[in-house]
Amino acid sequence: MVAASGSQTVGGNGPLAGVRIVEFAGIGPGPFACMMLADMGADVVTLDRVGAARNLKGIAERGRKWVHVDLKDDKSRGDVIELLHTADALIEGFRPGVMERLGLGPEVIFKCNPRIVYGRMTGWGQHGPLANAAGHDINYISITGALAAIGTREQPIPPLNLVGDFGGGALYLVVGILAALMEATKSGKGQIVDAAMCDGAASLMTMFFDMSATGDWVEGREQNLLDGGAHFYGVFECACGKFVSVGSIEPQFYALLRRHADLHDPEFDAQMNRAAWPKLKKRLADVFKSKTREEWCKIMEGTDVCFAPVLTMAESSRHDHMVSREAFLTRHGVLQPAPAPRFSRTPSMVREPEELPLAALVSSWRFADRSR
């Protein structure tokens, strides 16, 4: 067991200790959400198909109990339903209708456990014209306005799969599961959490819809305050070929940027003159190319310029700030992010996964059943 960064307590008694979650194995956002819940102390059991190969040393697999089960077998399905009798939440990421066809849809499960929270993770959601279509993160964020706003002037660029799968998917699923669990303690009733990546990604765009409504955001990439259009908010190449980021939005921070970068030309006075941004951005790019990233770090890092070096994943784990916060850990020789967020009294933990037979798990949960 590995203590989360900044943790002073050992023992895995995270804030979700005692919460039981059954996950139907999937890919992407569902497993990531369950990893977070397991890190926070939840007892997460993952049901995978018989014969499926698992990398129990993998990052997203940490902290779970793994059970192989044939969901098309009546006896096995009955055991799963019995397991769900004592679960607090269920998480599945199949296309709409698959769980119902397996005889494990919400109506069936609510009859055996009225308090259970039924989490459904999909890209398009449980209804709508695209609900049954295949898709990936890039497609789900395409219809929300998010992808169109990210990239160069010439074309959109996928922001990895952070906006759809993990930001708009996994994190909204975790929030929904926790909110529904809180409500169930008052009502005694569970409910369905329909976590669609297109919904979550659209929700993440709230600030930009707000800015658009007030006239502070225009259609088109690299023309706005936060999309690389402004000369004082962007990424710049250094003499060494590496990059730094600058976000000197507030006037006092912009003044520091000008001072540290020797930007004394009066043209830089009109910070918010959009018409001047392209020219000033080119001039600032030339300034940053005059020194290496290391040299700029010595000048600006730790100041109120709002500056940081653009690091690779390997470099990130060695940065002084990340090291001091123990933001990464190594498990089975694999470098990985430590659990987040941090809790002062009930710290998250990275627990080792284990494989169990379904019958043994059902028996142990029944034996340790709590008053419901």
Whole-number Å distance between alpha carbons of 109 and 362:
16
DSSP 236-247: EE-TTS-EEEEE
SS3 304: coil
Whole-number Å distance between alpha carbons of 210 and 55:
43
**CB neighbours (10 Å) of residue 207?**
10
Strand partners, 43: 20
**Considering only CA atoms, which of 117, 107, 214, 240 is closest in space to residue 174?**
117
Q: Is 216 noted as a catalytic residue in this protein?
A: no
| Cα angle: 63, vertex 346, 30; to 5 degrees | 35
**Considering only CA atoms, which of 89, 83, 86, 34 is closest in space to residue 360?**
83
Per the CB < 8 A criterion, the answer to whether 31 and 59 are in contact is no
User: What six digits make up the tokens of 124?
Assistant: 């398009």
Helices (H), 189-250: 197-204, 206-213
Which of 48, 70, 85, 136 is catalytic? The answer is 136
Residues written for the chain:
372
Which of 165, 199, 227, 231 is catalytic? The answer is 165
Helices (H), the chain: 29-39, 74-85, 98-101, 106-112, 137-142, 171-187, 197-204, 206-213, 251-260, 277-288, 293-300, 313-316, 320-324, 358-367
Whole-number Å distance between alpha carbons of 175 and 178:
5
- To the nearest 10°, the Cα dihedral for 103, 22, 202, 126? 0
Q: Is 369 noted as a catalytic residue in this protein?
A: no
Q: Catalytic site residues?
A: 136, 165
